[in-house]
Amino acid sequence: MPSIHQSDVKTNNNMIILSIESSCDDTACAIVCSDGTVLAEQIYSQKEHVQFGGVVPEIAARAHLSHLSDLVKKTLNQANIDWKDINAVAATCGPGLIGGVIVGSCFAKGLALARNLPFIGINHIEAHALTVRIPHISEHQVHFPYLLFLTSGGHCQCIHVKDIGDYHRLGGTIDDAAGEAFDKVAKMLGLSWPGGPALEALAKEGDENTFSLPRPLYGRPGCDFSFSGLKTAVGNLLTEYENIDTLPRKLAANIAASFQKAITSAIINRLENAIKASPNSTLLATAGGVAANQYLRKHIQELANKYNLPFVAPPMKYCTDNAVMIGWAAIEILQQAAKNNKVIDDISMLPRPRWPLSEMSQIFDS
């Protein structure tokens, strides 16, 4: 959890944050203002992993180390500001691939120490959860409490977002995350990495009713998810065609469309349970890389309409890992700390591969 102690730098309502994100395979830097203005953002989507068909943690960490310095310089130049204009430095401190988290957070701490600025350690999941609160990101102003469906390659959770640092996990995946299932099925179909976007594109060419695939946990109580059985069902389906060197494109498209329909159907069923479990939510939001899937978004929108809930999803570039969400989370935390007469400097925070949201409630404890 973040440590809270006195710092020479006071929080205010006119903050400019330099932020770094390095939890997986995207190296990102941004400069964000407390009114939601993004002065600059740079991102390097690592190509080093393509030949391996997935993220290799050690390679990701080395790539972050290679690109971060240049990325920060480019971000400062793009924003056309000087270090004297920066109020704090923020970075992801977890959860994520520990090598990348170490590189990004230590680099950010070095910048903060060199410039005598406070360092704010950010929970990556909390940053996703708060992205929808960035001013002007949608037509709806997002107030607490709201229901968040977080879905990515590493996470799949229903979260009741009550306030900054106050999160109630309603349910999550008991095996694979949705993004992981998308990527693995895409690989079975011979699609390039990253598989999720490639599978979504192929599915547009297919008939989603061609194959009847399982919808794990569908109709059961609770808000947990399970996708490994669905992934296995696709693998079993493909054994019939294992003697074919390359699947006919129409067949692959039909499988992709059928898989996408099945996983979306399962998600919507579990998400409907989450809506019923959080009746005081002001709206339904989604975030994370899989939230960029337009087919899934359409069905979540329909579910929100059914319950007369506004639906908010970040622009596609802020669904995937990015530094803007890290900077905005830092702003939210600093403003909340100021209300509690606290000043935050997390320079002693250790990077973490796992960091449950349940621990965030301790941030503002006396």
Q: Is 3 annotated as a binding residue?
A: no
Which residues contact residue 184 at a Cβ distance below 8 angstroms, ignoring those fewer than 6 apart? 176, 195, 231
Report d(CA 47, CA 40) in Å as an integer: 22
Report d(CA 265, CA 267) in Å as an integer: 5
What's at 345, amino acid-wise?
D
Q: Is 321 annotated as a binding residue?
A: yes
Q: Is 53 annotated as a binding residue?
A: no
Q: Is 180 annotated as a binding residue?
A: no
Given a contact cutoff of 8 angstroms between Cβ atoms, the answer to whether 168 and 159 are in contact is yes
Q: Is 104 annotated as a binding residue?
A: no
Q: Is 151 annotated as a binding residue?
A: yes
Given a contact cutoff of 8 angstroms between Cβ atoms, the answer to whether 209 and 265 are in contact is no
Q: Is 150 annotated as a binding residue?
A: yes
Q: Is 153 annotated as a binding residue?
A: yes
What's at 311, amino acid-wise?
F
Q: Is 206 annotated as a binding residue?
A: no
Pairing relationship of beta strands 16-21 and 38-45 according to DSSP bridges: unpaired
Q: Is 209 annotated as a binding residue?
A: no
Given a contact cutoff of 8 angstroms between Cβ atoms, the answer to whether 189 and 202 are in contact is yes
Annotated binding site for substrate: 150-154, 183, 196, 200, 293
Annotated binding site: 124, 128, 150-154, 183, 196, 200, 293, 321
Annotated binding site for Fe cation: 124, 128, 321
